Amino acid sequence: METSIYSNSTIRRGTPESVGISPLHIARYLQRLREMEYDLHSLQICRNDQVVFAAAASPYTLESPHRLLSAAKAIIGAAVLFAVDEGALSLDDPVVKYFADEVPEQPDERMKNMTVYHLLTMQTGQDTDEAFLHFLEHPDEDLCRSFFHTAMTCDPGEHFFYNNSVPHLLFTLTERATGKEFASYVREKLGGPLGMEITAQYNSRHIYDPVTTVVTANGFLKLALWFLKQGEWNHRQLIDPALIRMACAQQVWTGNEKPGYQNGAGYCMQLWRNAFGGCRMDGGGGQIALILPEADMAVTIMGNESRGDQAIQLFYEEIYSKMSGKPLREQAAEREALEEETRRMSRAPRGVLAHGKAERQLAEKEWQFAPNQWGLMGMQFEFQEKETWVQVRTEQGVNSYQIGLDGQMPESSIPFLLEPDLSIQNRIYGPDPRKCHLSGGWSDERTFVIVSKSTASMGEYQFRCVAGADGLELYLPNGISAGMKPEAGWTCLHAV
């Protein structure tokens, strides 16, 4: 989708030690995420213009398309600031100025006082996400109209409320103020100069849908570095740095006074303030970009998790709070520890063995299933030293699947048993949704686990094949088994 991060001539490769970070501390961070079974897809660390760690969990790469979800709000906020910079908008502009067709004939007087600044800082005067929740169920309806028909509860600017309708208003007023389609405007102002692709889907009414925004891990790091460098990229100042400094500075308290990650440090402009300094892009599934000016540092974490808060807190505990202001001496043992943890960054099943005692039993014949809703008729296993082959017979025909062992995840051109989950919150737009990566292993003496991971889907499926005394038990997942969605349970099919 884009060129390397090093297309910016000011960014270079470095070692953790050269910027005062112990490789052992990064290794410990990765270890703690692994121990809590955190669904990590990539991690990148850049300090003092040096990328000192960059790795993706197989089958992802740093160039794989990936969803941003609410982290894309920062891109929309940046587009608004570009419009301000070129004089098409003002932070003090009344919002209703751009929405004459959507505003009620007799609007609440307080609504007339809502400005672009109030939108950027989530101080709209509403205290409900009702309009956006309605839009999720009725995506063909006009979300901006629904927003303006939602009751005001206080004056704009009086308090903070995280309102997911705001991005729709922001990109719409940007289009109306600049006269340019939003995707084209972002490409012109940000994507093109940074050498990256920023894509999002349009709905049936040809309205830009920011929640579908896709970039790569490298693109996410570029965005973080652009904010860190106050709008400068590759020796070019793309925007007034004062606007970026304002966007990254606290503008409002959130009302949440809990310590640590819990957003108690305030909100900026479509960015959150970190409890330990700096700000961040933050999206569902753990799409996190930490922008840390005091340390001249940008860190990006991508995944499929509801526990992004813990990933941030662990980063502070294991890396940020332990950094040195001067280079450290390289130690082979620390480097080896980091390399080992990096090798373990994979979406292949963990804690499994390549071979199990029940291999002969499972491989002895083709297992026959009673009629079922999946049309699954038979399965046959062939266990080899470095891979397992599973032949699946359905009502549509016979397919053979190569299941990688020892963390290997070979690609299949067709899904294994179940189609990938391509729901609005889970789909990654770009990759072929039918292609999947398969890996397996023995979780105990009788259970062979298979993970099916599509790079077009945030989540993954886990299947269990259990060799029982009276046949094969195949446990089909009722939903994806990782990330933001809760465990959906299993359906057991018996074969003889």
% of the chain at pLDDT higher than 70 = 96
pLDDT value at residue 205: 79
Residue 216 near residue 208 (C-beta atoms within 8 A): no
pLDDT tops 80 at residue 10 = yes
Could you report the per-residue pLDDT of 336-359, keeping only the tens digit for each? Answer: 999 999 999 999 998 999 999 999
Lowest mean pLDDT among 94-108, 392-406, 419-433, 444-458: 419-433
pLDDT value at residue 489: 87
| 424 confidence band (pLDDT: 50, 70, 90) | confident
| 257 confidence band (pLDDT: 50, 70, 90) | low
pTM for the model: 0.95
Q: How far is CA 127 from CA 122, 154, 172, 378, in A?
A: 10, 9, 21, 55
pLDDT tops 60 at residue 260 = no
pLDDT value at residue 258: 55
pLDDT tops 70 at residue 256 = no
pLDDT tops 80 at residue 385 = yes
Choice between 481 and 63, residue whose per-residue pLDDT is larger:
63
Three-state DSSP state, 383: strand
Angstrom distance (rounded) from CA 289 to CA 242: 21
Could you report the per-residue pLDDT of 227-252, keeping only the tens digit for each? Answer: 999 999 999 999 999 999 999 999 99
Q: What is the pLDDT of the chain when averaged over all its residues? A: 93
Residues near 270 by beta carbon (within 8 Å), at least 6 away in sequence: 73, 74, 76, 77, 120, 167, 170, 247
Beta strands in 193-273 (DSSP E): 199-202, 208-215, 232-233, 236-237, 272-273
| 480 confidence band (pLDDT: 50, 70, 90) | confident
Angstrom distance (rounded) from CA 365 to CA 495: 11
| CATH architecture of structural domain 359-495 | Beta Barrel (2.40)
> Would you list the domain boundaries of the chain?
5-64+216-343, 359-495
pLDDT tops 80 at residue 483 = no
pLDDT value at residue 139: 80
Among 484, 451, 424, CA closest to 212: 424
Among 200, 201, 171, CA closest to 80: 171
CATH classification code of 5-64+216-343: 3.40.710.10
Three-state DSSP state, 445: coil
Residue 11 near residue 225 (C-beta atoms within 8 A): yes
Could you report the per-residue pLDDT of 96-151, keeping only the tens digit for each? Answer: 999 999 999 888 999 999 999 999 999 999 999 999 988 888 888 899 999 999 99
pLDDT value at residue 374: 93
Choice between 485 and 235, residue whose per-residue pLDDT is larger:
235
Among 153, 170, 169, CA closest to 161: 153
pLDDT tops 70 at residue 171 = yes
